[in-house]
Chain A
Amino acid sequence: MTAEPVAEQPSTPLAGLARLLDQHVVAHDDVKEALLLALVCREHIYIEGPPGTAKTRLAEIVASGCGLEFFFYQLHRDTRLAELVGDIVLERRPIEQAPEELLAGPGGAPAPDAGPSDAKPPAAEAPGASIGERIHQRIEPGGLLVAEICVLDDISRAPGEALNVLLRLLNERRFGSDEIPLLTAIATGNPMDDEYYNEPLDPANLDRFALQLRVRGLIHDGGEAARELIDRFASGDVEERPEPSAVIDREDLDRAYDELSNVEVPDGVRAGLLEVLRTLVTDEECDESNSLLTDRSFLVKAVKLIRGRALLRGRRSATAEDLDVLLWMSTFRVPEEVAARMGEIVARVQAKVGSG
C-alpha cells in the first residue's frame, strides 16, 4: 500500500503535510495516508486503537499543520449538546403588553389555565404590576459549528444518543438550516472488546465516517518500526509533544478539492468497485443485518476517495490500485471475519481488472 509514499512526491498536493507527519510520528503509514485522503476529499475519518498508539497525536498534527479553524473535543459519558455546538444562551426580554390585554388573553377568551387564584376581579390589580417576558434559549455558535477541522477524541465514550446531533452536522454540514464550515472531522476511539467504558458507534453515525482504520501499537507488534520509535526518543533531544506550525493552508486544500473532479475513473475501475461490492453481498453474505454497505458510502463516497488516492499519488487517472481505499472503508462496516479477508477480495478484483 505504501509503494510510493506520498511524502516523497513533492509535486503532489499536501506533500508538505505528509512530511510533517513523518517528522513527528514513526510508521503508521496507512493512517497518515488515510488522514491526507480525508483532508483532500473532505471526508470524515474514524481511527480505532488502544491507548498510546498516536491516534490523537496524528490528528493533532494534521489539524495544526493545515492552519484551519480547529476544534478539539474530548467526548465523555455526560457529553452535552452545548459542549459540542457552543454555549446555550438564555435570554429574557420584557414584552410590552397592557395589563388588561394580559388578563383578557388574545381574542377575549379567558386564559386557559385560569385557576381559583385568578378569581380576583381585574380591577383589584395594581396598575403596572404585570410583566410580560420572553424567554428564549438560543445557541451561540461555537465548537463544531465554527470549526473547519475537528478532532472528536474518544468518540466511543459518549452514549449513542448524545451523538445524534452529529448526524446532520457531519453529513450535510448543516446545523438546522445554517451551513457550517466543517471540512473534515477526525474521530478516535478505543477498541470495543476492551474494558473501557465505551460502546460501539451506532450504524448511522459510523457511516458518517467514510474512512475507518484500526491502529495497533508499534511496540506491541515488535519489528523495525518499534526499534526506530524507541531509538528516536532515547536520544533525549526529541520533544515529546511539539506544536507544529502550519505547512499548508486553506487555498492548498481548495485547489486539491477542485482537482479531484478532474481525476478520471476509467470504466474498469468502476466495474472493479461494483465487483467488490457484489462479492461482499453475494459470496460473503453481507446484508443489512450484519453490515453497513450503504449506497451513500460505497456508490458515492468510494468514487471520491478513489479519485483522492490517485491525486495524492500525482495521477490524473485512477487505476485498479486505488481500489485499496475500500480496505479503509470496510474496516467496521462488514463482519470482522470478512474485514480480515478484504485484502484478498480487493486484490483478486484488482488482478482481474488489471488483466482485463
Chain B
Amino acid sequence: MTTERIDSFALDLVEGLRRRLDAVLVGQEQAKLAVLIGVLAREHVLLEGAPGCGKSLLAEAGLGAMGADVHLCSFHRDTRREDLLGEVNLHRRVHGNSERLSFDLEPGRMLKAQLVVLDNLGRAPGEALAPLLQLLGSRVVDLGRGGMMRLPLETAVATMALPGGEVGHEGVAVDPLEPSQLDRFALQVRMEGLVTARRWGLCRAVLDSSLERAEPGVRLAELNAAERLRLQDWVTRIPYPEDVQASVRETVLALAARVRAATRGGDGRALLSDRVFGAVLPKVLRAHAAVRGAAVVGVEDLRVLRVMVAQRLPQGLLDVLEEVLHEAIAVPSPESMSTSEEGDQGLPMTADGANEQVMTDALPGQVPGAPTTEAELPEAPALPPRRRKPRPADVEPLIKAFEGRLDRGRSDLDDDPGGQPRGFRPLRRFDELIDADPLDALLLVDGTLAGPPRVLRRRRRTLGGAVVIARDVSSSMAGFRNDWASELICGLVRAAARRRMRVGYLEFHQRAIPRILGGRLLHRRYEQLNQLVREARPMGQTNYEAPLRMALDALRGRRGANRHVVMLTDGLPILGDTQVRAERALAKKLGVSLHTVFVGDGASPPVLDSISHETSGLRFQAIERSGSLVLSERGALPGAPGAPGAPGSPGDVAEATMVAAPA
C-alpha cells in the first residue's frame, strides 16, 4: 500500500532526525523533542536555561539538519530593528518648499529564511523585539508604503537565559518577554545543566564523547528541502481519531480548571491561550505522534504538553500538569513506556551502564518529563531543590518586606550611558551623536534638520546598591534580644548578599562604632560580617544621631538608587539630637531609605515613625510574647495617607493582625 510506504519512509526520516539531535547533544530529551516537533508542526520554540547547557548548540545544529536556509540572529544590547528586518529605503519628495519623507523596507535575510535561530533573545531591548515577535505570530510583514509580504518562515527557535536574578552570582541583564510575546512560542522548554541536575551518567557520556574526534566518515541524516516539506505535509495528515480528540479536550479543560483553582481564579500568570491550546494543539499532537513513531495520534501524545508550558504555568503548578496527564493517560504498560517516553532510552551516545546510573540517580530536582507517572509528586519537578537555611519564623516578615524593598529599588530604570536603548530623546551633548538616529544624523549633516537630532535614550536597571545596618547595643539589648537581633541582621545580610549589594554594619550605644572589614565600612564580605554580628556585646546608653550620621556618611557620594539604612533599637534616644532632624533631611536629600525596627513592648518612639515615614522606609516593632519576640509592621502615621512610594503598604492590616493574634 502506498500510504504505508509513505508512513514508513516518513517515520524513518523522523528517526534519523532524532539520532542526529542525539549526536549533537547528550541528554536534554525534552528540548530535543521540542525542536523536532517545532520543525514538523511549523511552530516556534523557546529554549530557556542556565548558561552553557546547550541551548544555542541545539537550536543551531538542530535546525541545520532540516534542509533549509537557517538564519541566525544573535541579540545584544545594540540590536536594532534594521538588523532584524532589513534595510530601509528612504524616499524624499520635494514639493516647492516642503519635502516629504516616506520609507519602505527592503526585506533582510531573516524575512527570507524558513528556519530562524533567535539566539539570546531578551538581551536586546524589548522595543527592538516588538516588530520581530509580531511577525513571528502573523508571518506577514508590512513593507511600508502599502506593500505586504508573506514570510516563508516555518519555525523559529529562540534561546534565552532564565529571567529573574536567581541564576548565578548576579542577575542576568535580560528583558523578560511579555505574555503576548511568549505565546508566539507554542513549544517552551526549560533546560537544566546535567551537572547541576546531578545526572552523572549523562555527564560521563558527554565527557567520553568530548574525547572522541569527530569521524569524518560518518554522515548523519540530514533532510533536503523536498523531504522536509513532504514530512511536514505528512504530519498534517496523521489521523486524529475522534475519541482521542474528546479526551484531549477534556484534559485541556481539566488542566485549565485546576490551574484556575490553584491560582484562585487566575492571577494572569497562567497562560493557556485559546490560540495555542485550541488551534495549535492538534498540529503539535500529530507531530508528537510522528516523533513517537506512531502513525495515529493517541492519548499518550498529550505528554507533549510538558514541552509547552515552561513559561505558561507558574513553576509551582507543574505538578498539576503531571496529575492531569496521569489521569488522562491510563497507566502505561512497560512496552508503551519504552516507545512513548522521551526518557533516556535509546540514546546512542550513552552506554548501557550509564543509562542505569541515570535511572538510579533520579532525583526530585530532575527535569520534568523524565519518566514520572506517580500521581503525587512532592514538588514541582522542574525546580532544583532550593535550600533555605532554617531561620526563626519571627524574623521572616521583616526579611520578606525588606527583600521587597530591595527588589523594588533594583527594578528602577536609571539613565545610564551604558544601558539599553529605550526610546529616544533630543541630543544634549555633541558626543552623543554616535547614538543618533541615522536618518536624523543624515539630515543634520545636510543642514535640513530643524532642531537637534534624536538620540537613543539609554537606561539600565540599577544593580548593586548598599545597605547599612545600625544595631543598638545598649545594655537593655542584652540577653535573648541580642540573639534575636543577630539572627535578624544575619538574615538581612543574606538578603543583601543574594543581590550582591554592599553591606555596612555599625553598632551603637552612646557612640557609634563602625565595624570595618577589609578597611571599609561598605563591602561584600558577607560571611565575615555574619561572624562579627554574632559577637556583639551590649553595654551603655542609646544615641540615634551618631549611628545615622555615620551610616549616611558612608552612603554619601554613591550613585544610583537602592540605598538603605536599617536601624535596630530598643530604647529612646537620650544623647545627641533626639529628633535627628539633620540626618532625616540628609537622608531625604540622598534618597536613602531609613528602615526602623523597634524592640520592646512600650510605645515605639514617634521619632522612629517619622524617620521611616519621611524616607519611605519600613517600620517594624518586635513585641515580647511568651519568651520570644513577635515582629509586626507598624501602621501608617495617623493622618498620613500611607508612606509615599509604598502603595498598598500592609501597615494597618498588619497591626490589626498583631493585636488580634493570640499570645
B463 to chain A, nearest CB (A): 6
Contact present for A278 and B200 (CB under 8 Å):
yes
Contact present for B418 and A161 (CB under 8 Å):
yes
Q: Chain B, 435-475, contact with A by CB distance < 8 Å: what is the 0/1 string?
A: 10011011000000000000000001001100000000000
Contact present for B146 and A288 (CB under 8 Å):
no
In this assembly, does B51 line the interface, its C-beta being within 8 Å of a C-beta of chain A?
Answer: yes
Task: List chain B residues, Cβ under 8 A from A125.
Answer: 93, 95
Task: List chain A residues, Cβ under 8 A from B574.
Answer: none
A125 to chain B, nearest CB (A): 6
**A193 with B524: in contact, given A164-B173, A204-B51 (CB under 8 Å)?**
yes
Contact present for A207 and B207 (CB under 8 Å):
no
**A133 with B91: in contact, given A161-B173, A299-B194, A303-B210 (CB under 8 Å)?**
yes
Contact present for A164 and B120 (CB under 8 Å):
yes
In this assembly, does B82 line the interface, its C-beta being within 8 Å of a C-beta of chain A?
Answer: yes
- A133: which of B50, B71, B89, B123 is its contact (CB, 8 Å)? B89
Contact present for B123 and A164 (CB under 8 Å):
yes
Contact present for A294 and B50 (CB under 8 Å):
yes
A278 to B197, CA, bound (A): 11
Report how many residues on chain A are interfacial, defined by Cβ distance under 8 Å. Answer: 93
Contact present for A167 and B438 (CB under 8 Å):
no
**A129 with B100: in contact, given A159-B418, A195-B520, A199-B463 (CB under 8 Å)?**
no
**A296 with B95: in contact, given A78-B418, A106-B104 (CB under 8 Å)?**
no
Contact present for B77 and A161 (CB under 8 Å):
yes
**A130 with B386: in contact, given A295-B194, A298-B195 (CB under 8 Å)?**
no
In this assembly, does A137 line the interface, its C-beta being within 8 Å of a C-beta of chain B?
Answer: yes
Contact present for B89 and A199 (CB under 8 Å):
no
Chain B residue at minimum C-beta to C-beta distance from A120: B95
Stretch at the interface among A38-46, A107-115, A236-244: A107-115
Task: List chain A residues, Cβ under 8 A from B213.
Answer: 261
Task: List chain A residues, Cβ under 8 A from B71.
Answer: 177
Contact present for B207 and A270 (CB under 8 Å):
yes
In this assembly, does A53 line the interface, its C-beta being within 8 Å of a C-beta of chain B?
Answer: no
A156 to chain B, nearest CB (A): 11
Task: List chain A residues, Cβ under 8 A from B50.
Answer: 203, 288, 292, 294
SS class, residues of chain A in contact with chain B: mixed
List residues of A (289-307) whose CB comes within 8 Å of B's CBs: 289-300, 303-304
Task: List chain B residues, Cβ under 8 A from A234.
Answer: none
Stretch at the interface among A21-29, A65-73, A79-87, A144-152: A79-87
A296 to B161, CA, bound (A): 15
A118 to B72, CA, bound (A): 40
Chain B residue at minimum C-beta to C-beta distance from A294: B52
In this assembly, does B211 line the interface, its C-beta being within 8 Å of a C-beta of chain A?
Answer: yes
Contact present for B441 and A90 (CB under 8 Å):
yes
Contact present for A299 and B525 (CB under 8 Å):
no
In this assembly, does A268 line the interface, its C-beta being within 8 Å of a C-beta of chain B?
Answer: no
- B77: which of A165, A294, A295, A297 is its contact (CB, 8 Å)? A165
**A285 with B387: in contact, given A137-B82, A161-B419, A295-B195 (CB under 8 Å)?**
yes
In this assembly, does B523 line the interface, its C-beta being within 8 Å of a C-beta of chain A?
Answer: yes
A105 to B104, CA, bound (A): 9
B329 to chain A, nearest CB (A): 30
A103 to B146, CA, bound (A): 11
**A204 with B172: in contact, given A274-B203, A288-B167, A294-B52 (CB under 8 Å)?**
yes
In this assembly, does A59 line the interface, its C-beta being within 8 Å of a C-beta of chain B?
Answer: no
In this assembly, does B434 line the interface, its C-beta being within 8 Å of a C-beta of chain A?
Answer: yes
Contact present for B196 and A111 (CB under 8 Å):
no
Q: Chain A, 163-182, contact with B by CB distance < 8 Å: what is the 0/1 string?
A: 01101100110101100000
**A131 with B91: in contact, given A90-B441, A200-B170, A289-B166 (CB under 8 Å)?**
yes
In this assembly, does A37 line the interface, its C-beta being within 8 Å of a C-beta of chain B?
Answer: no
B200 to chain A, nearest CB (A): 6
Task: List chain A residues, Cβ under 8 A from B420.
Answer: 161
- A112: which of B77, B119, B146 is its contact (CB, 8 Å)? B146
9 A-B pairs closest in CB distance: A294-B52, A203-B168, A296-B52, A109-B146, A159-B418, A164-B76, A165-B76, A105-B145, A161-B77
7 intermolecular pairs with C-beta atoms under 8 Å apart: A90-B441, A133-B91, A167-B123, A289-B386, A295-B195, A300-B210, A303-B207
Interface set of B (CB-CB < 8 Å, partner A): 50-54, 56, 71-78, 80, 82, 87-95, 98, 100, 102, 104, 106, 119-120, 123, 142-147, 161, 166-173, 192-196, 198, 200, 203-204, 206-208, 210-211, 213, 384-387, 416-420, 434-435, 438-439, 441-442, 460, 463-464, 500, 518, 520, 523-525, 527
